[in-house]
Structure 1
Amino acid sequence: MTDKLHPGPLSRRMFLTGTAGLAGAAVLVGGRPNQGAHPVRGLRPTAAGVHPQKTVHLAGTDGWVSMPQGAPADPPFFPDSLAPAGFDTYVFGFRDVTGLSATQVAAQRGHAQISAPMLSFDEEDDIFITLSNLGLLQRPDLFDGHTLHWHGFVNAIPLFDGVPELSLAVPVGRDFTYFYRPHDPGTYMYHCHFEDVEHVQMGMTGMVFIRPRQNKTPVNGDPAGTKYAYNDGDGSTRYDREFAFMLTELWSAAHYRDAHIQVNDWTDYAASFWLMNGRGYPDTLEPNGNPLVTTAGRLQYQPISSMVSCNAGDRVLLRLSNLGYQNHQMSVDNLDLTVIAKDASLLRGRDGTSNYLVTNGVDIGPGESRDLIFTAPSPGEFLLYDRNYSYLDNGGGPGYGGMMTRIVVHPAGTLGPQTAANA
C-alpha cells in the first residue's frame, strides 16, 4: 500500500494521475527503506551475496536555487521577485532522504535540489528506490505527479519504467517503490517523466552509475580493489578517480512562469544559463555541499561540485550526460581524452576489436552519455568547457560562465584515494 505523508482530500486530478498507483497497491508494500519493510511483495531475498539489496529514498518537491552572482537582470524573469534572500530561481528537484523519519521527510517540502543526487550501484544488485511526492510548496494549486525514469536503461519492466502513460505516476502525498536489477554496467541518467518537458527543464534530472562485476575479479594482473568502468576483459577501462557531469540548460522565463502561475510556450525556448551539475561557472569550482545543512549558503541546493582534482599519473574517468535540449561539445585543450563508451555501451566490436576514440572534444546530444578516460600529465591546470562560445556566459553577461570547470593536476601522491565520485 502507499503511504500518505500529509492529510487532505483526494482531488479529481490526484485521482486521475494516481489511479494506476492505487491499482499498483496490490503488488506494493508502502514502507520506506528506513522502516525495514521489504518494498515489493512477491520478491524473496536471494542467497547471501548473490543479489545484494540496496535501498534509497528520494523525495520530489520544488524550491529555490541561485545562479552565478553577477549575472545581469532580465526583468521580470530573473531574478525572480518571489525568491527568498540568497536565491533567485524557482526549480523542481529530487532530494535524498534515505534514513530520515516521516516527519523529517515531510519537512523537505519546498527544498528541491539540482542536479539530483548521484546514485551508484553494482551490477546485479537488487535495487529498491522509494519515491515520495511531497508536492509543490510554491504551487499548491498543482497536483503534479512525479516518476523515476532511468533513461537508456534496458532492464526495467514497464511497471518500473517511470513513463506514466505506460506505467504510473506517484500522486502528491504518496510513495512508490521502484525495483531494478541491472545487468549492464555504465553511465545512465534518471529524470521525472511526468510532464517531462516541463519537469526536466525545471530540474528533475540526475545520474546513475552501474559498476561492473569485473571490479570484484580484477583482470590483467591488476590488484584487488582496482576500479573499472566496464567489463572490458583487458583492464582498458581501469581508473583511479571519477567525476560526473549532468549537463543541462536553464530558461529563466520558464522557471519564472511556473512560479507565477503562468503558461509556457515551449517553442519559444531560449536558454539563459548553461549548467554542469546544476551550477554555472565559476560556481562549478566550489566544493561539494550538503543540502541538509542550512548554513551552506546560496549553493545549498546545488551541492554537487564539477571541480576535477587528481594526481599526476592518475587515470581519470569522466562521465558526461546531457539532459538539456541542446547539443554540447565538451573539450579539454592539450589533453588526450579516450572515449570508451557511448550511451552506456562499451565501444568494442563483437570480435573484441576496440573502437575507442582518442580526441580532445566529444559531442553529446540531448539524452546521450559519454564515458572518457585520460591519464593525468605533469602538474598543471586545464579547462573542461563547451566549445560553443555562446554557452560560456551567465545570462548573457560579460566574462566567462556557463559550462566550464577546471581540471587541476597535483604532484603524484598529493591526494589520497577518492571516496566517491566528484569527491
Structure 2
Amino acid sequence: MRITHLLIAILLISFLSACSQQGSETNANQEKGDTAHVKEENFTGKKVNEFDLTAMETTWKLTAENTINAWTYNDTVPGEQLRVKEGEVVKVNLTNELQEPVSIHWHGIPVPNTEDGIPGITQDAVLPGESYTYEFVANDPGTYWYHSHQNGVDQLDKGLYGTIIVEPTDPKEEADIDRDYTLVLDEWESGNYQVENTDNTDHDNMDMNNKSGMMDGKGMGHDMSSYDIFTINGRSYENSKPLKVRKGDLVKLRFINAGYMVHQIHIPIDYKITHVDGQKVNKPQSVNKSLFEIAPGERIDVEFTADGSSNFTIDRHGEAEASQAMKIDVVYEDRNVQDNKHETTTNTVDITQLGKQRESQFSINDNFDVEYEMDLATQMSMDAEMGMVWTINGKTFPDVSPLKVNKGDKVKVTLTNNSMDKATHPMHLHGHFFQVLSKNGEPLSHSPIMKDTLNVKPGETYEVAFLADNPGNWLFHCHDLHHASNGMVSMVNYNNFKAFYQDNGNVDNQPE
C-alpha cells in the first residue's frame, strides 16, 4: 500500500512539474503535433513593385553647421520612400556598399518569417559587396518603415532607415486626401560623426523628466543629452522646406519616430489622429491643439482640413535646446495669410482614449490559450558596456525564456515597466499586430487600438493580445535600441516550427 501511495505521489509531482512553465508564462501551452510552416503567399496575378535599395555612405547636411557621414538607403535620409497598393507584391533588391553587414526589417508589416530581416534569426546579414532580395505581399494598408536590424543601435543612429506606405484599395478609405506628407523624427549625436564647424550645445537644459514621468534622457545607462541635433526628414528646421497646402485641402501627416527618444509633438490647430501604427482608429474625434506623444518605432497618422485662416508651425515641446530644430511650417500656397500665434499647451492625447468603441477582435474577458507576463526592469552589471543591463523577467537576451505558442492560439501578454532608471520602453512585436486591452488595470472603453509598438512608461502596466497566425521565430523587444542591445529582447517561438534558417557562424550576425 505504501508503495502504491509513493507511486501516486511521484506521478502527481511529475504531472504538476510538467504543467509548470519557466519565467512568467501561465496557462501552460503544450506543443501540438502538427508542424508549423512559414506563411505562404500567392503572387499569381498580383502587381509586382520592384525596388533597388543600396546601403551606402553619404555626406548629409543636418544643419547649416553640421555635416555628417550618414549611412543611407539610396543616398538620402530617410531612405527612398516605397509606395504600393494593398495586395500588391513588394520586391526589394538590397545591395550593400558599406563596409559592415546590413539587413532590412519591415517594421510593422506582418511579413512571412523568411522576410523579417533579422540576422542570426531569419537570415545572415548581407556582407559588404553582396546582395539580397526580399519579397512579400503588402496585405495591410498603413504607415510603416524599414530599417537595418544588424547592430541596429549603431546603424539606425547613422541613418539606415526609410519609409514604406501601403495605400488602401478601398476608394472610401483615403479618396479625399489632397496632401499626404511623411514626417520622420530622429536625433543625432554630432560628437560621434565627422562634423564641420560644430558649435558647443549647452546640455544643461536637457529635459530629463517631463510631467508625464517619461525620460527624454535614459538615466544611468545611456546619456541621451549627447543627442544634440533633432531633425524631421533628416533636416533641422532651418534646412527644412515648408509643407504647402491650399484652402479646403484635407491634409494627411504620417509621423514616424526613427529615433530613441519619446517626442511630444504640438499641432496648434484642430486635428484628428486617424491611425496608430498604421491601424485605423474607429470614428476619431477632433483634438483641439493638443500634444501627442510618439515613441521610438511608433507611427501616428494625423488629418486636418486647411481652413485658410493662417500659416502655422508644428513643433516639438520640451526644454532640450535641440527641440528648437524639430519643427516644420505649414503654409498656404494660394493665399497671403498671417502666421498663427503659437501658444504653449500641456494637454496631451491619450492613445487609449481615441475614437468610439466598436466590436473588436479581443476582449479582456476572453479565454486565452497562453498568458505571459513581461517584467521590464534593469540590473547593474560590471560586464555591461553601460554598467547596466535591461531585463525581461530578470534575464537578458538570449537567456530570456521565449513565449511559446501554437498556430491559432489567442495570446495575452502583460507588460509592466519596473525599470529603476525610470526609462520608457517602447515594446515592438515582430510579425503580428496586437490589441491593447487595458492600461493600469482599466479596460479600454474607446476605439479598439491595434499596434505593433507600445510605449510602456515607468510604473505602467498594459495587457495586450494577439492571434498567433504567422508561424516563425519572432523578436519582441524594446525599440530604444540602447536597451535592446543591452538585453531587453525576447522571442515568440511557434511550437514545432519547421526551421528554414540556421546560423552557421560564417557571418557576424548581430540581431540588435
Instruction: Output the CA distance in 1 between the equivalents of 2:41 and 2:310.
Output: 52
Find 2:187's aligned residue among 249, 269, 273.
249
Instruction: Output the CA distance in 2 between the equivalents of 1:279 and 1:188.
Output: 20
Instruction: Output the CA distance in 1 between the equivalents of 2:286 and 2:309.
Output: 25
Is 1:326 matched up with 2:261?
A: yes
Please tell me the residue identity of whatever aligns with 1:384.
Answer: I
Are the structure 2 counterparts of residues 356 and 150 from structure 1 closer, same or farther at C-alpha, using a change threshold of 3 Å? farther
Is contact 2:43-2:89 (8 Å) kept?
no
Find 1:52's aligned residue among 23, 36, 47.
47
Is 1:201 matched up with 2:164?
A: no
Instruction: Output the CA distance in 1 between the equivalents of 2:257 and 2:227.
Output: 14
Instruction: Output the CA distance in 2 between the equivalents of 1:195 and 1:273.
Output: 22
Are the structure 2 counterparts of residues 43 and 390 from structure 1 closer, same or farther at C-alpha, using a change threshold of 3 Å? closer
Are the structure 2 counterparts of residues 391 and 187 from structure 1 closer, same or farther at C-alpha, using a change threshold of 3 Å? farther
Partner of 2:329: 406
Q: CA deviation at 1:359?
A: 3.8
Please tell me the residue identity of whatever aligns with 2:255.
Answer: L
Q: CA deviation at 1:275?
A: 0.6
Is contact 1:379-1:411 (8 Å) kept?
no
Is 1:378 matched up with 2:357?
A: no
Q: CA deviation at 1:113?
A: 2.1
Are the structure 2 counterparts of residues 313 and 46 from structure 1 closer, same or farther at C-alpha, using a change threshold of 3 Å? same
Superimposed CA distance per residue, residues 30-54 of structure 1 (whole angstroms, 9 cap, x where no aligned partner): xxxxxxxxxxxx998623xxx1111
Is 1:277 matched up with 2:239?
A: no
Partner of 2:245: 310
Instruction: Output the CA distance in 2 between the equivalents of 1:190 and 1:391.
Output: 29
Q: CA deviation at 1:146?
A: 1.1
Partner of 1:159: 114
Is 1:170 matched up with 2:126?
A: yes
Are the structure 2 counterparts of residues 157 and 362 from structure 1 closer, same or farther at C-alpha, using a change threshold of 3 Å? same
Partner of 2:299: 369
Please tell me the residue identity of whatever aligns with 2:228.
Answer: S
Secondary structure of the residue aligned to 2:311 is strand
Instruction: Output the CA distance in 1 between the equivalents of 2:309 and 2:284.
Output: 30
Is 1:115 matched up with 2:78?
A: yes
Q: How does 1:258-297 map to 2 (within 5 A)?
A: 267-269=222-224, 270-285=226-241
Is 1:133 matched up with 2:96?
A: yes
Is contact 2:270-2:286 (8 Å) kept?
no
Instruction: Output the CA distance in 1 between the equivalents of 2:286 and 2:149.
Output: 33
Instruction: Output the CA distance in 2 between the equivalents of 1:135 and 1:323.
Output: 20
Partner of 1:345: 279
Q: CA deviation at 1:369?
A: 0.3
Partner of 1:22: none
Q: CA deviation at 1:338?
A: 0.5
Please tell me the residue identity of whatever aligns with 1:347.
Answer: V
- Rg larger in structure: 2
Partner of 2:29: none
Instruction: Output the CA distance in 1 between the equivalents of 2:235 and 2:166.
Output: 24
Q: CA deviation at 1:165?
A: 2.3
Instruction: Output the CA distance in 1 between the equivalents of 2:240 and 2:313.
Output: 12
Q: CA deviation at 1:410?
A: 3.5
Instruction: Output the CA distance in 1 between the equivalents of 2:250 and 2:79.
Output: 26
Secondary structure of the residue aligned to 1:312 is coil
Secondary structure of the residue aligned to 2:117 is coil
Are the structure 2 counterparts of residues 146 and 357 from structure 1 closer, same or farther at C-alpha, using a change threshold of 3 Å? farther
Please tell me the residue identity of whatever aligns with 2:94.
Answer: L
Superimposed CA distance per residue, residues 89-117 of structure 1 (whole angstroms, 9 cap, x where no aligned partner): 1211110xxxxxxxxxxxxxxxx421111
Find 1:387's aligned residue among 299, 308, 317.
317
Are the structure 2 counterparts of residues 197 and 147 from structure 1 closer, same or farther at C-alpha, using a change threshold of 3 Å? same
Secondary structure of the residue aligned to 1:135 is coil
Please tell me the residue identity of whatever aligns with 1:91.
Answer: A
Instruction: Output the CA distance in 1 between the equivalents of 2:275 and 2:285.
Output: 8
Instruction: Output the CA distance in 1 between the equivalents of 2:126 and 2:303.
Output: 38
Are the structure 2 counterparts of residues 409 and 182 from structure 1 closer, same or farther at C-alpha, using a change threshold of 3 Å? same
Are the structure 2 counterparts of residues 266 and 254 from structure 1 closer, same or farther at C-alpha, using a change threshold of 3 Å? farther
Please tell me the residue identity of whatever aligns with 1:122.
Answer: K
Partner of 2:60: 65
Find 1:336's aligned residue among 247, 261, 270.
270
Is contact 1:282-1:405 (8 Å) kept?
no
Is contact 1:340-1:371 (8 Å) kept?
yes
Please tell me the residue identity of whatever aligns with 1:200.
Answer: L
Q: CA deviation at 1:254?
A: 2.6
Instruction: Output the CA distance in 2 between the equivalents of 1:359 and 1:132.
Output: 46
Q: CA deviation at 1:330?
A: 1.4
Is contact 1:161-1:167 (8 Å) kept?
yes
Is contact 2:251-2:306 (8 Å) kept?
yes
Are the structure 2 counterparts of residues 187 and 391 from structure 1 closer, same or farther at C-alpha, using a change threshold of 3 Å? farther
Instruction: Output the CA distance in 2 between the equivalents of 1:389 and 1:315.
Output: 32
Instruction: Output the CA distance in 2 between the equivalents of 1:342 and 1:377.
Output: 25
Is contact 1:276-1:403 (8 Å) kept?
yes
Structure 2: segments with no counterpart, 5+ residues:
1-39, 196-219, 336-512
Superimposed CA distance per residue, residues 363-399 of structure 1 (whole angstroms, 9 cap, x where no aligned partner): 1011100000000012531001112242545xxxxxx
Is contact 1:116-1:205 (8 Å) kept?
yes
Instruction: Output the CA distance in 2 between the equivalents of 1:67 and 1:251.
Output: 11
Higher relative contact order (CA 8 A, sep 6+): 2
Secondary structure of the residue aligned to 2:272 is strand
Are the structure 2 counterparts of residues 124 and 406 from structure 1 closer, same or farther at C-alpha, using a change threshold of 3 Å? same
Superimposed CA distance per residue, residues 227-266 of structure 1 (whole angstroms, 9 cap, x where no aligned partner): x44xxxxx7xx31111111100001123349xxxxxxx98
What percent of counterpart residues are identical? 24
Is contact 2:256-2:300 (8 Å) kept?
yes
Structure 1: segments with no counterpart, 5+ residues:
1-41, 72-78, 80-87, 96-111, 137-143, 220-227, 230-234, 258-264, 286-306, 349-353, 394-400, 413-423
Secondary structure of the residue aligned to 2:157 is helix
Q: CA deviation at 1:411?
A: 3.5
